[in-house]
């Protein structure tokens, strides 16, 4: 795996400042790429395209663990809870750039902002981050009914502040904890269908579907950026299903 920055040891990872990823840096605006797509000849893939992706969801659902699993290919047990780690004023816990093959991600993990009365609000990153995001990974924890119930509120927040064409994916994380499961897989599937977003269960612990989740959104964004008007649209749902079948994804949680 090619890294865009030198890595710090994990112990320092969540207690030091992260490489700043400026909202406007490192990726091509959709407006530009749309125009390019309409101008013959068909555009080639912009190798510098960075897929700005934010992970959101209730506290403790495993956002940071999922990012670490994707980035480092391992599970580091224990909470990266925002409450005792550095959270920037804009509600961001981690910013990181990851590069795999010719795909690049600027990843941001949102941390819950607590209001003065100590009540959790359905807001993590500030509006500027939402507006700037190409993709949002929205996580719940399959062992936590409340994290699932709150997905609707998260989606309301996303629809209010994010770009209308943002790619959203719903992830039911902690898929390895089937004995403590509170949300059936078909409940996740039903919710995803209701909001017309792709869905899969993941495990930051075993790594199941982690790479697929990030790759699927990046591929969707890449296809949008370079799509020729006459070409068929990339079908993210079909891509996910075909890859799940290839990897036999869900049988070894």
Ligand X SMILES: Nc1nc2c(ncn2[C@@H]2O[C@H](COP(=O)(O)OP(=O)(O)OP(=O)(O)O)[C@@H](O)[C@H]2O)c(=O)[nH]1
Footprint of ligand X on this chain (CB under 6 A)?
59-65, 77-82, 93, 111-112, 173-174, 176-177, 203-205
Evaluated on CA atoms 28, 32, 37, 39, the torsion sign reads negative
- For residue 85, CA distances in Å to 14, 74, 92, 149 come to 6, 20, 11, 26
Cα separation, 205 vs 253, whole angstroms: 9
Shortest separation between residue 145's beta carbon and ligand X, angstroms: 16
In terms of CB distance, is 158 or 204 closer to ligand X?
Answer: 204
Cα separation, 171 vs 175, whole angstroms: 10
Cα separation, 147 vs 139, whole angstroms: 8
In terms of CB distance, is 35 or 178 closer to ligand X?
Answer: 178
In terms of CB distance, is 16 or 230 closer to ligand X?
Answer: 16
Shortest separation between residue 144's beta carbon and ligand X, angstroms: 10
191-207 in b/e burial notation, b at 16+ Cβ within 10 A?
Answer: bbeeeebbbbbbbbbeb
Contacts of 40 (CB under 8 A, 6+ apart): none
Shortest separation between residue 43's beta carbon and ligand X, angstroms: 37
Residue nearest to ligand X (CB): 62
Q: Which of 118, 114, 178, 117 is closest to 143 using CA atoms?
A: 178
Shortest separation between residue 193's beta carbon and ligand X, angstroms: 23
In terms of CB distance, is 40 or 78 closer to ligand X?
Answer: 78
Contacts of 238 (CB under 8 A, 6+ apart): none
In terms of CB distance, is 33 or 173 closer to ligand X?
Answer: 173
In terms of CB distance, is 27 or 80 closer to ligand X?
Answer: 80
Shortest separation between residue 249's beta carbon and ligand X, angstroms: 14
Shortest separation between residue 107's beta carbon and ligand X, angstroms: 12
DSSP symbols for 200-215: EE--TTT-TTHHHHHH
Cα separation, 213 vs 8, whole angstroms: 24
In terms of CB distance, is 52 or 205 closer to ligand X?
Answer: 205
Residue listed under structure tokens 């994707």: 70
Shortest separation between residue 92's beta carbon and ligand X, angstroms: 11
């Amino acid at each position: 795996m090619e890294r865009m920055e030198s890595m710090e040891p994990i112990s320092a990872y969540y207690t030091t400042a992260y490489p700043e990823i400026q909202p406007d840096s490192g990726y091509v605006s959709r407006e530009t790429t749309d125009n390019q797509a309409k101008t013959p000849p068909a555009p080639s893939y912009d190798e510098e395209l960075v897929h700005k992706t934010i992970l959101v969801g209730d506290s403790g659902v495993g956002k940071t663990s999922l990012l670490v699993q994707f980035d480092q290919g391992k599970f580091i047990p224990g909470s990266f809870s925002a409450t005792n780690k550095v959270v920037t004023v804009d509600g961001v816990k981690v910013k990181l750039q990851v590069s795999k093959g010719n795909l690049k991600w600027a990843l941001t993990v949102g941390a819950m902002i607590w209001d003065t009365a100590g009540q959790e609000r359905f807001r993590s990153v500030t509006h500027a981050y939402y507006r700037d995001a190409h993709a949002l990974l929205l996580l719940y924890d399959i062992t936590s009914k409340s994290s699932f119930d709150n997905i609707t509120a998260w989606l309301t927040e996303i629809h209010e502040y994010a770009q209308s064409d943002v790619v959203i994916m719903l992830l039911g994380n902690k898929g390895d904890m089937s004995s403590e499961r509170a949300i059936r897989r078909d409940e996740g599937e039903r919710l995803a269908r209701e909001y017309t977003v792709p869905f899969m269960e993941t495990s930051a612990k075993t790594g199941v579907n982690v790479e697929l989740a990030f790759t699927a959104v990046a591929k969707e964004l890449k296809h949008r950026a370079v799509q020729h008007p006459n070409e068929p649209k990339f079908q993210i749902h079909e891509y996910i299903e075909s890859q799940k079948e290839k990897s036999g994804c869900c049988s070894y949680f």
